[in-house]
Structure 1
Amino acid sequence: MSSMDQLQNSAITATSTNGDRESQQVLSSGHKRGGWVTFFFVSATLSGLMIAGWGWLTNLIVYLIEEFNVKSIDATQVANVVNGSINLVPIIGAVLADSFLGSFHVVSISSLFSLLGIVVLTLTATLSYLRPHCEIGSSLCHGPSKLQLAVLYSGITLASIGLGVVRFTLATLGANQFDNPTDQGSFFNWFFFTFYAACVVSSVGIVYVEDNIGWGVGFGICAVFNLLGWLIFLLGNRFYRHDKPQGSPYTSLARVIVAAIRKRKVPVSSESKDYYYEINDGDDKNSTATTPKRSFRFLNHAAVKTEGDINSDGSIAKPWRLCSVQQVEDLKTLIRIFPLWASTVFLATPIAIQNNMTVLQALAMDRHLGPNFKIPAGSITIVVLISSAAFIALLDRFLYPNWKSLTGRSLTPLQKVGTGHVFNILSMAISAVVESKRLKIAHDNHLQGQPGGNAAVVPMLALWLFPQLIVVGIGEAFQFPGNVSLYYQEFPVSMKSTATSMISIVIGIAFYVSATVVDLIRNVTGWLPNDINEGRLDNVYWSFVVVGILNFGYFLLCAKFYKYQNLQH
């Protein structure tokens, strides 16, 4: 599968640097650590933690509305903040793993955090005094007290930290168990398959239990899966290769900025002999053999050698006054890619808003499939997961090979991301049309809001939401591998772990931006009342169609001027 192979090969570059060192680690019995024996432990851990994490996260909006009497739009705002946090904390996990603790300890601790958080959520669902109540025989429902909110948010915080950190750190740990690039590539295939499968199982099974049997039972099952995943991970300890912290790559970036400022009055030379080139362990693959590039010329001051900067053995005497040319060029690479990265934030923001608003739409629609089955509102977004997984396979097996056969060239990462932009705009337009139809039916039937201000159910099948979610999945099938491939290829070698989490950071920021945008829309317009049947959610979607078109234009401009540094065909 070409795009996934591209992603995997880049990941292999990042993880194989420690291979020779790690391959020397052996079990006490004389057998080498690592290899496929570890895959059972890694995949079982991933399955348990994803089933547990997705089980509470997917249905969080419904839980807040039905059990804590939170207003519908307020519930989506809480979900935005939670999703944003979950997608931002992986960078913290990456720093801790690379610089201080190592992957094993980070996964162990974050798994425990996740378990403790889910246990607290289970207590809020089973102990009546930890959640608000409604007056018997009355539609009056009290809001949650400060204590109840404190317990609820404590559980959500712990569970969010655990779920956010463990995903990417576990992938790094798993890839480090292999020396052979073919084995590493195969591992990534099965890792992604396990991730999607676990999320689908949780979105269907766990959410159904929560909606139809009880929240306490559903959260309890999540806790059991989390505990099993954590225990299985610990049982595999004797088989893992343990990576050792190598120090933070972010320090060298800061050094470039500080050194450039301190040497701002030192003339920039055109001779390569005037610059410092560092060769690590006798390998000059990561060194730059020419003078620094003229772009962002101010930063070149950081690599200019002056008296007293270098020791007699050739090492740097003053690290915050002199940097290597490669470190300078690494920072420039990040600066060049930032505009493209920013466009992805605005690509993900409408998707974040749509993700939560779709749940509210589903709550106000007929979700029955036959007389005995009702689709849980929190499970409606599973369509995106299924669509993404299916179309990634279709694209890699059919579109990309045929495109290369017809044109003689492979689609570049930026071309894939651009295609994702187009499908995102299309999904917003479909969402607006469907919501307009739903609102018309609601107004024609003169539906009154339910107690608490939530919307009444409209006689319109929730299946009408499927087309927009399928199109979102198609867009993600293009832009997600495209973005990850771009970051893997273009990021400095020393920052491949950061590249792994870049798409997660984008999504996290997008959820925070979406929360801000929703607040702005609520304060400026009347489009998002608590009863969405009385609002104009369709106008919100149309607004994002316009924003998406403008952002696509900005992306095309950035892509036109961007020059690939390490494009792998």
Structure 2
Amino acid sequence: MATTELQQSSSDHDTEGQMSSSGRIKHGGWITFLFVTGTVMGLTLAAWGWISNLMVYLIEEFNVKSVDAAQISNVGSILFALTAMLDSLRPPPCERGSLDLCKPPSRVQFGVLYSGLALLSVGAGGPRSVITTMGANQLNRPEDRAIFFNLYFFTNYMCAAIGSTAIVYIEDNVSWALGFGICVLASLIGLAIFLSGRPFYCYDKPPGRPFLDLARVIVACFRKRKLPLSSRSEDYYYGFDGKANTVDATPAKNFRILSRAALKTEGDLKPDGSVAKPWRLCTVQQVEDLKALIRILPLWSSNLFVSTPKAIQASLTVLQALTMDRHLGSHFKIPAGSFQVLVFISSSISVVLVDRFLFPMWRKLTSRSPTPLQRIGVGHTMVVLSMAVSALVESKRLKVAHNHGPNFVPMLALWLFPQLVLVGIGEAFHMPSQVGLYYQEFPMSLRNTATSMAAMVYAIAFYFSSALIDLIRRVTEWLPDDINKGRLDNVYWLLVVVGILNFGYFLMCSTFFKYQSNADKERYVSNSGSDM
């Protein structure tokens, strides 16, 4: 983004923020982006420093079989680092380098490993998803938020690329303990940066109990299921003393059955106008919040099934790379855990190219930006295309493996690059648009959890990927411990079929999806293409 644009955006926001006596911004504004970015950099470096190389660590240090390692990796920084620093927390090395002569980890060693993974998952996933919303909440103007999301994901992808290369290289070539120790240090630095920004943050007022309010709507609707709906606004409850009166018309016509929860009946209100029976009467705003959530959930579920193939590919690509020639020149060998960096590099470059060149060109030709759903749809198609390329590359790898023996495949691992680049391009279309859409369309009371929904998609997708791998192993012979004796290409073709079916489901959800209002749609579309 041009410096003058950022300065102008900051200036515009400063006029809306709270000002100190010296005239400087007191809370919120672009100044907070420095602290948010610093926090994300530390968390992302640490997370991808261990995530990228986790499978290699499990195979080489914990004597875990390859496909089992792929499942475990889909499931503390200090606790996890201790497994690399203390020999007693790992099984002894394999004899003669053979997995057939390896002693498996003890229950205590597995317990420490899984405890560390659990804490790492919470530490890596929780803060990074919540801080996205926090950063967006520091800015008042939708244009600024659109710029923030693009800059946020660019920073996130670049740090993930560094963590997947520099830290992974240290783990593979210097010391696992040192590599994991750097991850711990990066997390601590990120925490320090976050805490140092406390005087500048704009703190959101707690939204009360939004999920409890949604449950109340469902219960109240059921209890009033026999009441006829009314077309008069005065028959509905809008709140007490204007506290919830942000909707000033009759409830929307979609999902009309839920509107009964806001119908006033005898005994619902106290003499002073407050609610006498909270589980029988809700405000129109609470009803509309639930409707907004229901509208977005089908689209959210379609993103779940586009993330599952990516999670499987991320694990299986490492297994493929371990069997291939990973040399670049005569002296450098690419760590197998670093191949995922291609996704991050292509994502970060694509975010810039898409936002600075493709969207402006599209606007010049059509006088409007692509809608969020169109951009997400491009991400879906790129993932399907990537799975097809993965299947073709794996077919070639298996042919070479069958001709040259089971232990090493004389085929350059560079063949894996195209499929990962395609995923990265799809990510640049898919992820920022998805998060921005959630932030725009989620109810105000649930906005703090809106961007967490995108992170939740990935979390559930990794569990799904583990379950799908386990199912494939049970019903087929495609995924033996030695992938050179299996049919990994068939797994990728299966993911192509799943992706095509899911894309059809996404198109159906998009057809029936309605923005909260046409004004919201036009505002989002015009702002989502803001140049970086």
TM-score by length of 1: 0.83
Would you say the 8 A contact 2:93–2:102 is kept in 1?
Answer: yes
320-329 or 458-467, larger mean C-alpha shift: 320-329
Query: 1:323 Cα shift?
Result: 1.0
Would you say the 8 A contact 1:23–1:179 is kept in 2?
Answer: no
- Other structure's SS at 1:148 match: helix
- Other structure's SS at 1:402 match: helix
- Other structure's SS at 1:161 match: helix
Q: Does 1:50 align with 2:11?
A: no
Correspondence for 1:264: 225
Distance, in Å, in 1 between the alignment partners of 2:67 and 2:21 is: 54
Distance, in Å, in 2 between the alignment partners of 1:179 and 1:550 is: 39
Q: Deviations over 1:332-365 (max 9, x none)?
A: 2222322222222111111111111111111111
Q: Does 1:500 align with 2:451?
A: yes
Correspondence for 1:326: 285
272-281 or 198-207, larger mean C-alpha shift: 272-281
Q: Paired residue for 2:194, among 215, 233, 248?
A: 233
- Aligned runs of 1:49-198 on 2, under 5 Å? 49-81=43-75, 117-134=76-93, 136=95, 139=98, 140-178=101-139, 187-198=148-159
Change (3 A) 1:164 1:212: same
Distance, in Å, in 2 between the alignment partners of 1:203 and 1:238 is: 33
Query: 1:392 Cα shift?
Result: 1.8
Distance, in Å, in 2 between the alignment partners of 1:402 and 1:358 is: 35
Would you say the 8 A contact 2:262–2:284 is kept in 1?
Answer: yes
Query: 1:39 Cα shift?
Result: 4.1
- Other structure's SS at 1:523 match: helix
Query: 1:377 Cα shift?
Result: 0.7
Structure 2 letter corresponding to 1:389: S
Change (3 A) 1:251 1:133: same
Structure 2 letter corresponding to 1:48: G
- Aligned runs of 1:237-252 on 2, under 5 Å? 237-252=198-213
Distance, in Å, in 1 between the alignment partners of 2:136 and 2:503 is: 35
Change (3 A) 1:305 1:530: same
- Aligned runs of 1:22-41 on 2, under 5 Å? 23=18, 32-41=26-35
Q: Does 1:480 align with 2:441?
A: no
Would you say the 8 A contact 1:275–1:303 is kept in 2?
Answer: yes
Distance, in Å, in 1 between the alignment partners of 2:486 and 2:96 is: 29
Distance, in Å, in 1 between the alignment partners of 2:62 and 2:241 is: 57
Q: Paired residue for 1:463, among 400, 414, 421?
A: 414
Distance, in Å, in 1 between the alignment partners of 2:191 and 2:26 is: 23
Q: Does 1:387 align with 2:382?
A: no
Distance, in Å, in 1 between the alignment partners of 2:28 and 2:191 is: 19
Query: 1:301 Cα shift?
Result: 1.6
Would you say the 8 A contact 1:27–1:33 is kept in 2?
Answer: no
Distance, in Å, in 2 between the alignment partners of 1:135 and 1:418 is: 47
Would you say the 8 A contact 1:292–1:325 is kept in 2?
Answer: no
Would you say the 8 A contact 2:150–2:351 is kept in 1?
Answer: no
Query: 1:175 Cα shift?
Result: 4.1
- Other structure's SS at 1:538 match: helix
Q: Deviations over 1:96-122 (max 9, x none)?
A: xxxxxxxxxxxxxxxxxxxxx121122
Correspondence for 1:274: 235
Q: Does 1:553 align with 2:504?
A: yes
Correspondence for 2:528: none
Query: 1:553 Cα shift?
Result: 1.7
- Other structure's SS at 1:459 match: strand
Q: Deviations over 1:259-309 (max 9, x none)?
A: 01112222322322211123775795x30412441x333212211101121
Q: Does 1:208 align with 2:169?
A: yes
Structure 2 letter corresponding to 1:23: Q
Structure 1 letter corresponding to 2:349: A
Distance, in Å, in 2 between the alignment partners of 1:479 and 1:175 is: 18
Q: Paired residue for 2:181, among 207, 220, 224?
A: 220
Change (3 A) 1:67 1:502: same
- Other structure's SS at 1:460 match: strand
Distance, in Å, in 1 between the alignment partners of 2:378 and 2:34 is: 36
Q: How many residues align?
A: 509
- Other structure's SS at 2:429 match: helix
Q: Does 1:537 align with 2:488?
A: yes
Would you say the 8 A contact 1:61–1:76 is kept in 2?
Answer: yes
Q: Does 1:525 align with 2:476?
A: yes
Q: Deviations over 1:357-390 (max 9, x none)?
A: 1111111111110111111111101111111111
172-181 or 26-35, larger mean C-alpha shift: 26-35
Q: Deviations over 1:162-184 (max 9, x none)?
A: 11111133334444445566665
Correspondence for 1:110: none
Structure 2 letter corresponding to 1:418: G
Query: 1:40 Cα shift?
Result: 3.8
Change (3 A) 1:216 1:511: same
- Other structure's SS at 2:411 match: strand
Query: 1:44 Cα shift?
Result: 2.5
Change (3 A) 1:299 1:283: closer
- Other structure's SS at 1:80 match: coil
RMSD: 2.8
Change (3 A) 1:193 1:57: same
Query: 1:137 Cα shift?
Result: 5.0
Would you say the 8 A contact 1:305–1:322 is kept in 2?
Answer: yes
Q: Does 1:415 align with 2:374?
A: yes
207-216 or 421-430, larger mean C-alpha shift: 421-430
242-251 or 345-354, larger mean C-alpha shift: 242-251
Distance, in Å, in 1 between the alignment partners of 2:439 and 2:195 is: 30
Distance, in Å, in 2 between the alignment partners of 1:561 and 1:553 is: 13
Change (3 A) 1:167 1:517: same
Distance, in Å, in 2 between the alignment partners of 1:481 and 1:31 is: 28
Query: 1:142 Cα shift?
Result: 0.4
263-272 or 52-61, larger mean C-alpha shift: 263-272
Query: 1:143 Cα shift?
Result: 0.5
Distance, in Å, in 1 between the alignment partners of 2:301 and 2:25 is: 47
